[in-house]
Structure 1
Amino acid sequence: MGKLPLGLLQQFVLVARLGNLSRAATQANLTVSALSHQMKQLEERLERRLFERGPRGVTLTVEGCSLLEAVGEHFDGIEDALSRYNRRAQDTFTLSASPGIMSGWLVPRLPRLVAAHPELELNLQSGSTLVNFEREPVDAALRYGRGKWAGLHSERLFGEWIAPVAAPELVAKMAGVDPGDLSQWPLLGDPNPSSRWKDWFDQVGGAPPRRYVASFDSFDAQRHAALEGLGVAMGRMVMSKSLIDAGRLVVLGDRYLPVDDAYWLVYPARSKDHAGLQVFQKWLLAEADDYCEHLPVPGNDESPSQR
């Protein structure tokens, strides 16, 4: 077999710990195809199957777990030894966020940040998997939830509301059907274990359908299906506002239901004194305050002081 290149083992450890080729490829500055080829090359050289490949990522086989246990800690030791030589630039800031909050809320506001702080170098990572701050060179993240993530500082930005949304084409097709009677509309199932549709019917009234037209494992996929006219989605208003303003989605009825989850800025203790985070944090909280003063939901009672 000969000696294995250390690079192959290093990439193996990265893929094994992230469980996702796309994210590992981004960190390694490789294409997904190139990284996948390297992992197959490693398996061929070891004559062992290291990964089970599935639609949601990769998982380690028994042989893969044994290899990670054997070599992982050694790479950790090398990284620890070199960490004091890798002081990160204070004017570089890396942020992780889901595709929805990234494109639906953050990106439209970034020109103001760039104009006010041209010295700040932004690295934006978009993905649905929560970043691992212990393993990844990320300074902070935008997250949606209850605000309790172990070992992280959390700052609440603003809340969220939900309402049924559909494409104008579907609304036109359903002309004459009462938008308040959702039992007569094709509904799209959401990925939330305690379905937002259940919350809606419990509080607003009505009965859920016996089956949904289709169900999805992510809100982004569900929203895209709604845009294509497949059915009615339970839309998050923060994420859907730009699409509603552009006329690509229509809110059915005039009811908006507040939910317990909210949007948060989170970061590990190591980032607290990072100059780039401090600049971004100050700008972001000011943007959140302004957004709370002009929330697009009729009848909302949230204010910046409630953050």
Structure 2
Amino acid sequence: MRNLNLVHLNGLRAVEAAARLGTLQAVAEEFGVSPGAVSQQITKAEAQLGMVLFDRQPRGLVPTEQAAPVLFRLADAFRSLSEAVRLAGQRDPSILTISVAPVFAARWLVHRLDRFTATHPELHLRIDATTRLIDLGASDVDLGIRVGRGEWPHVKSELLLQQEIFPVASPALAERLHHPADLAAIPLVIDDRSMFSWDLWLRAAGVPDLACRIGHRLNEASLCLDAVMAGQGVMLAWQTLAGDAIRQGRLVAPFGLRVRTGFGHYLVTAPGQRQRPAVAAFVRWLKDELADSMASLDRHMPPAGPQPPAL
């Protein structure tokens, strides 16, 4: 194996990841470095190997024909290395690591963890709150909970809950909201990183051309919710974001109309990975909690149905 001394391991890692992910940006996000740094590693590896491994195209990196057997063996080798590292650091089976979006963790999951502990005192949860999509097959994360369309590469996804959006406001502001057209008089709190816009709900409510006034613009849904609870405007929320605040009376959903966005909450696991008993226990608990939470929210929401004339 002396020929390995001729090539830097970091360069081989970059090459393997580029073949697997397809773009410099995706590799950079996985490694936590810049795309430029990844490009330099790949270029050095190509020079050390004496062959061009990728065609640089606008849509990303495309393996060359002569590189195919090299990349195949690299992928197999790094899978073996990953498994070796995993075996060397066998985790405590009582610890369950979950990767979850921060807003879902803060507004829904964390408040229910004591109930999981009461049901499974032998298990301990480690919550990794992040929006970064990690490689579940090459990390210590047991499962992830993500919001999207469930079409992420290299993972197995299972729909937990269809996302539904609806306006929410503080109780004082909600007294001024009787019909969708009344939204024109209330500033909208906008989440700049949202995957949907107000147009989706306004069309369904029958007021697609409503002239709305934009209030605060924030880059985090949880901050938007805090602003709304402080009476600073109205926002489009969804079940796991605003459900607890609605049940506690800190927020009001003045209209019964809930609109699906096409996104959902998904359970994400590594494909082909054998499910540990701890993971199975958490998944059962999570599904039961979501069902109970949604049933409770339904009881605190106004009935759905046709909206009265808006204008």
1:303 aligns to what? Answer: none
2:7 aligns to what? Answer: none
1:137 aligns to what? Answer: 140
Shift of residue 185, structure 1, vs aligned partner: 1.3
1:205 aligns to what? Answer: 206
Query: Secondary structure of 2:141's match?
Result: coil
Alignment of 1:106 onto 2:99: no
Shift of residue 176, structure 1, vs aligned partner: 5.4
Query: Secondary structure of 2:128's match?
Result: strand
Is there any run of 5+ residues in structure 1 with no aligned partner, and where?
1-8, 25-57, 301-307
Of 9, 34, 44, the residue aligned with 1:59 is 34
- The one-letter code sitting in structure 1 at the alignment partner of 2:231 is G
- The one-letter code sitting in structure 1 at the alignment partner of 2:109 is L
TM-score normalised according to structure 2 size: 0.65
Of 206, 217, 220, the residue aligned with 1:218 is 220
Q: Within 1, Cα distance between the matches of 2:272 and 2:243?
A: 34
TM-score normalised according to structure 1 size: 0.66
Identity between Structure 1 and Structure 2 (%) = 26
The structure-2 alpha-carbon separation of the partners of 1:270 and 1:94, relative to structure 1 and needing over 3 Å to count, comes to farther
2:154 aligns to what? Answer: 151
The structure-2 alpha-carbon separation of the partners of 1:70 and 1:84, relative to structure 1 and needing over 3 Å to count, comes to farther
Aligned length: 250
- The one-letter code sitting in structure 1 at the alignment partner of 2:201 is W
Q: Within 2, Cα distance between the matches of 1:210 and 1:176?
A: 15
The structure-2 alpha-carbon separation of the partners of 1:290 and 1:231, relative to structure 1 and needing over 3 Å to count, comes to closer
Alignment of 1:163 onto 2:138: no
Shift of residue 163, structure 1, vs aligned partner: 1.5
The structure-2 alpha-carbon separation of the partners of 1:140 and 1:208, relative to structure 1 and needing over 3 Å to count, comes to farther
Alignment of 1:183 onto 2:157: no
Shift of residue 299, structure 1, vs aligned partner: 4.7
Shift of residue 233, structure 1, vs aligned partner: 0.6
The structure-2 alpha-carbon separation of the partners of 1:217 and 1:150, relative to structure 1 and needing over 3 Å to count, comes to same
Is there any run of 5+ residues in structure 2 with no aligned partner, and where?
1-9, 15-25, 46-73, 305-311
Aligned CA RMSD, in angstroms, stands at 3.7
Query: Cα deviations across residues 70-127 of structure 1 (Å, max 9, x unaligned)?
Result: 69x9xx6865653432233322210011122223222232222111211112111112
- The one-letter code sitting in structure 1 at the alignment partner of 2:188 is L
Matches within 5 A, 1:255-270: 255-269=257-271
